Amino acid sequence: MKSEQGTHARIERISSVHGNGKRHTCLASVEVSPILDESIDFEIPEKHLEITFYRHRGNVNRIEIWVRLFHIPTGISVCCNQERSQMQNKEKALAILKSKLFAIALAQNVQQVDEIQPRLIKSLSNKLIREYILHPYTKVKDLRTNVETTVATEVLDGKIDFLIKAYLQQLNHTTSVSKEALDNFK
């Protein structure tokens, strides 16, 4: 699924809500990070975290479950409201933050959170990787591999194996070509 990282969807359509017939474009960023288990010892110092519990305005009887964790040194924040309690959401947000920081540490080849250099963090989700055109015709085009299909509804339903396979084949071809070029250079 790492191949899906980037600005994943640019959906162009004629709005059914607005009568003026203008095209609308929606963008969605996809970020992929590893799921860490207990065998990986990767701790975030408490002093590096800012924890915010959001309050719901207006309804005093509503349970407040939103939690936001902000990692001060890197500026990365995670919000979570998936669980039914703040403590569960705090744990889930911490797990997501740890996985993001772990992925960054791997990319920067460092062992501890303290060694991460914030200025070297690159956002991979800003790169546009795929366009979905739904009106006046249907087409999905992967901008990295130039693979196109007119069955946009199937792609939107999750049938993306052919897109992932094309990306991996291109990636393997590029890697093998660069190894050959390096061998020829010697």
Domain residue spans of the chain: 2-32+123-185, 46-120
Q: Using one digit for the tens of pLDDT, what is the confidence trace for 107-141?
A: 888 888 888 888 887 765 577 889 988 877 889 99
Q: Which structure tokens are listed for 81?
A: 């409201």
Residue 34: what pLDDT?
Answer: 80
Just give the CATH number of 2-32+123-185: 3.30.70.1660
Q: Is the pLDDT of residue 24 over 80?
A: no
Q: Which pLDDT value is given to residue 181?
A: 47
- Residue/partner pairs of 17-26 with CB below 8 Å, 24 or more apart: 23/135
**Residue 113: predicted pLDDT:** 83
Residue 30 has pLDDT above 90, yes or no: no
Q: What is the mean pLDDT of the chain?
A: 81
Give me the pLDDT at residue 151, please.
93
Fold assignment, 46-120: Double Stranded RNA Binding Domain (3.30.160)
- Interval 28-47 mean pLDDT: 82
pTM above 0.75, yes or no: no
Mean pLDDT value of segment 9-26: 68
- DSSP per-residue letters across 18-85: -TT--EEEEEEEE---PPP-TTS-----GGGEEEEE---SS-TTS----EEEEETTTTEEEEE--SSS
Retrieve residue 142's tokens: 């992967």
> Which whole number is the average pLDDT over 44-59?
81
Pair 128, 30: CB distance under 8 Å: no
Which pLDDT belongs to residue 186?
38
With a pLDDT cut of 70, the percent of the chain lying above it is 80
Quick: pLDDT tens for 61-116.
666 788 999 999 999 999 998 888 889 999 999 999 998 898 888 888 888 888 88
Same fold, 2-32+123-185 and 46-120: no
| % pLDDT > 90, the chain | 30
Mean pLDDT of 157-183: 77
